[in-house]
Every structure is written in structure tokens, then in C-alpha cells.
Structure 1
């Protein structure tokens, strides 16, 4: 390759199999079964690559467009963790190329019709915590392979139509099934219809009122506000306490916490919490 004929090309593959190709060349390139389109939706900054196991550091940025990377898809998390590969390629002979980056998309930020995504190298998983954490509360995520609680049926999830949207983060319902107050706190909500379909959020507060009225407050407003009448699915939450695991979910056999571990005060000042031995 010569310096005057080098272009960069990058591929992004979502978890659902959708593949997009981009290049900073002024014409499309095709190799490895992928067509790389010029100036189409995304560009990448210069890579900062280190030796050893250090995580490569770079960013990708671009415009949110209807035919490439849409705002709705970004907000719905469809690009989270997408596979990324980048090549330097001789655009006069695409067989002459070298792979300069392989990894995934990390945190995605959006502003004014554009996005910026962190690129994470293949060594990024090595930064994840390993091992067991000794804590009074459960370390499992509700419904995962450690928790083993299957969240199906009307006990742990329901669907309802939105009757009111306040401040972007509070959803009101007028014909809600009978659940106790706070049943859905720390749970999650998924929009099933309308322009916000596919978006999800974590639930902060769940307030029940007489007559089947209910208000659910989200920790953060949905990126695209749902409309009145849109359907949502709401899943119960867990505060990870042993009592909740036993009484609410009947799942204490799979509890992944240590409810009888001594408190920090007991360790630091045993005379205030009881005797040792």
C-alpha cells in the first residue's frame, strides 16, 4: 500500500445480525462480503493502541440517519455491544489491507441529531470484576442464571396502556391490575407500541392509588416520549434483601447473598454489637 491510496473502512455488526460498513474513501469499497459506503452515518477518530493488554482507546461518531444508525435504535440499545472491526485498505486493490482494530461499541452518547460511541478493545472484558462478593444482599440479577426465578405470569409482570405522561419520566395509568404499593420499584418497563416502541427504562417509584390508578416514576426519562394510549410491559423489581427473596419471589433457595454476615460496625467495634466467639 502507498500513502496516497490508503483508506479506512470499518464494519459494525449488531447482536441481531445487522451489518453496516463505512469508509472515509469517496467511493464504496467491497470486501469480506461487506459493502463499505462513503461518508455514510459514521466516522472514526485516530486509534490509540497500546502494547500488552491495555484497552485500545478510540471513538466513533456520526449523524443519526433513517437509513443507517437511527436515534430510535440507539435509544433502544440495539447498538450496545455491537462488534466493530476497522481496516486500513488500499482502495485501488482491496485485497491489500490490514486489520487495525477489533472490539465492540461501548457507551453511546447522543446530542443534536448525532452520536458518539466509545470503542472498546478485545481486552475490555479483562476489566470486569471476577469472583464472589460477600455482602448481605443478593449479588444476582433478578431472573438471570444465578437467580433462576422465571419472571412469567401475572404475578411478576403486567401490560397496561399509558393514561398520562408527566415531566417525561412519570407514567400514569387509570386501569391498572391490583398490585401492592411498590411492587414494581427497581423493576423495569418496556414500551410495546407507538413511536417509542422497544425503549426500556428502570423504575424508581411505584405509587398505587384507589380505583386502579397508578403512577410509575422512571430513574431517567425515555429518549423518545411515549404517547397516551401506548402499551407497556412492566416487570416487578427486587431490592435484593433476603426477606424479599423469600416472601415476594419464593426463591430463597437461590439467594446469592450472606444475610448473617457481621456488619461493618460489629467488625470495627465488637463490643457495641456483641461478643466475639
Structure 2
């Protein structure tokens, strides 16, 4: 039996690796014997403890590159660890663990990454806190706004730090503020970025891009929302799906003093 890893990145790239001394074709994916990934001790239980393990491997130019790890291309990637019969790769496999990639450490040409198992989901809050702002994400199943007509392709004509100039103006004032940008080419291809605000044909990102954008590169732009009820009602006509409590009294009510008449 040979240990195998299947990695599914959020940008749609799928890679396979194996601890065997030669490549193995399994279910349409070629599991490479490089960069020689090795797992830490694996322990599983039937309790509610969070199951985690570490994976060690070497950085290579054609598989897992340091630049891709630093750019965040592997953040949140899904990983499946299983055992396969190296003599008969078409035989059924034995599942061992699965989860998503967590913290990544790079040192001396090698990397160590943490695998967070499904039990790690138990650490997340079960009940949402009240808030005056909407807690849904624009376009998700709770918001229900159709993002298809609010997503556009544009070309970057000029870039200076976090400010981008496009070849097309926004459809309305600050339409892309609080929205998302996805790079479709260049050194940032596949990466996403949060948009702080937009004005005409100019965008301001929340963080600098990983690589300096080249003029002419294409980007995908998705409109955003400031999560206020007034915006939800006037711009999206979606007040019925607003997921917040704008009129709920806050702690400041307790600090008020009565006034004499």
C-alpha cells in the first residue's frame, strides 16, 4: 500500500502526490512521487477532539512552489489522504483523513502544512451574534441577490500600488466597493482581492496585489455591498432577505440617563 494525497485548490487546480517511488494514475489524476510529501503520526478517534496532522514536503518548481504558497494559492485547499495499492492503482482505495489546509511554514527549501480535519468545524460559533449590519454575503443562499448581471470583465490600463485604472467605468457610484476582484492573467492569475472602493474607472484594493499587475491584464469584477439596510432596500430591492437587526436597541441604551421635564 502507498500513501496518496489529493489537493483541490479553490481556483480549480487539482494535484496528486504519493509516497511511492513512482507516479501512480488513480481515478484520472496522476499522483506524482515528487516532492516526496510525508505525514506526521495520524491518530483518529470517535470523540469530539479536533483531529489535525502535519504534512512535510520539498518545494519544487513544477509542483508546489514557494511563490504560490506565499501568494495564498493553497490557502483553504481541500486535502484527501488515502492509501492505494501501488501494484493495482485501479483497485478501491482506503480513506484515511480529509480536511482543509491550515497554517503553512516555509524553511530551508521545504514546507510544513497543517491539515484541519472535519472535527475542526466544531470550534466555529453555532449561533450568530446580533448586529445592525447584514451578516449574509452578497449573492449567497441567504442573500439571494443574483450576481450574474453584477459581474463584469474589464482590462487594467494602469496600476499604481493598490489603485487600478480600468478601461470601463462602474455602472453606479461605488458599485464595486466592498466587492471582489479576480485576476484572470499575469502573475496574479487565479488570485482574488477585496475592493475597498470604486469611483468611475478607478478601483482601490484593500491590500497590495502579490505581483505588480501588467497593463492590459484582464480582471473579473463583482459588485459589493456595505451591508446596510438602506443599501439593501434601495439598491438591491432585497430588504426581505436582510440578515441584521438595524432597529434592535444596543448597549448604549443602558447608559442613557433620564431627563427631567
Please classify the TM superposition score into its range, dividing by the shorter chain length.
0.7 to 0.9
Q: Which runs of 5+ in 2 are unaligned?
A: none
TM-score with structure 2 length normalisation? 0.76
- Number of aligned positions between the proteins: 253
Secondary structure at the residue paired with 2:148? coil
Q: How has the CA–CA distance of structure 1 residues 143 and 159 changed in structure 2, closer, same or farther, with 3 Å as cutoff?
A: same
TM-score with structure 1 length normalisation? 0.73
Residues in 1 aligned to 2:94 and 2:204: alpha-carbon distance in whole angstroms:
46
RMSD, aligned α-carbons = 3.8
Residues in 1 aligned to 2:184 and 2:13: alpha-carbon distance in whole angstroms:
22
Residues in 1 aligned to 2:144 and 2:251: alpha-carbon distance in whole angstroms:
30
Q: How has the CA–CA distance of structure 1 residues 109 and 49 changed in structure 2, closer, same or farther, with 3 Å as cutoff?
A: same
Counterpart of 2:190 in structure 1 is 198
Counterpart of 1:232 in structure 2 is 219
Secondary structure at the residue paired with 1:59? strand
Note if 1:171 corresponds to 2:164.
Answer: yes
1:120 deviates by 0.9
Q: Which runs of 5+ in 1 are unaligned?
A: 1-6
CA contact (8 A) 2:56 2:110 kept: yes
1:21 deviates by 2.3
Q: How has the CA–CA distance of structure 1 residues 65 and 176 changed in structure 2, closer, same or farther, with 3 Å as cutoff?
A: farther
Q: How does 1:1-277 map to 2 (within 5 A)?
A: 9-14=3-8, 16=12, 18-23=14-19, 26-27=21-22, 36-38=31-33, 40-41=34-35, 43-47=37-41, 49=43, 51=45, 52-69=47-64, 71-72=67-68, 75=71, 77=73, 80-87=76-83, 101-107=96-102, 109=104, 115-153=111-149, 156-167=150-161, 169-173=162-166, 175-180=168-173, 182-206=174-198, 208=199, 212-214=200-202, 216-266=203-253, 268-271=254-257
Deviations 1:178-215 (A, max 9, x none): 531x3322111011233432221111233x2xxx542x
Deviations 1:147-174 (A, max 9, x none): 0000132xx333321122223x332236
